[in-house]
Structure 1
Amino acid sequence: MTTLLHLDASARRHSSSREAGDAVAAAWRASHPGGVAARKTGASL
């Protein structure tokens, strides 16, 4: 099983880095249908 750890460092919900990370994570999930994606936000790091 493949795992992606998606870390959000920006506290702003609509930051450019979050949007870029979301796009990468979406592409990863599409190419790894059996994979697991875990997301952590800046507040929980």
Structure 2
Amino acid sequence: MLLAPSGMRRHLCAHLLHLLLVIRLSQSLVFHHQESLEAAGDL
């Protein structure tokens, strides 16, 4: 990992950041979906 050229390392970092962002987005979407389901169940 450390032996990789800076361009490769930057590419990997960007890829990991993108992956984290996607995971965060999907988690928040699922969370809001569960909230709306619970709200619908309370009605």
- Please confirm whether the aligned pair reaches a TM-score higher than 0.5, indicating the same fold: no
TM-score range, shorter chain: 0.3 to 0.5
TM-score when normalising by structure 2: 0.44
Larger relative CO (CA 8 A, sep 6+): 1 or 2? 1
- The structure with the largest alpha-carbon Rg is 2
Q: Decide which structure has greater strand share.
A: 1
TM-score when normalising by structure 1: 0.42
Q: Decide which structure has greater helix share.
A: 2
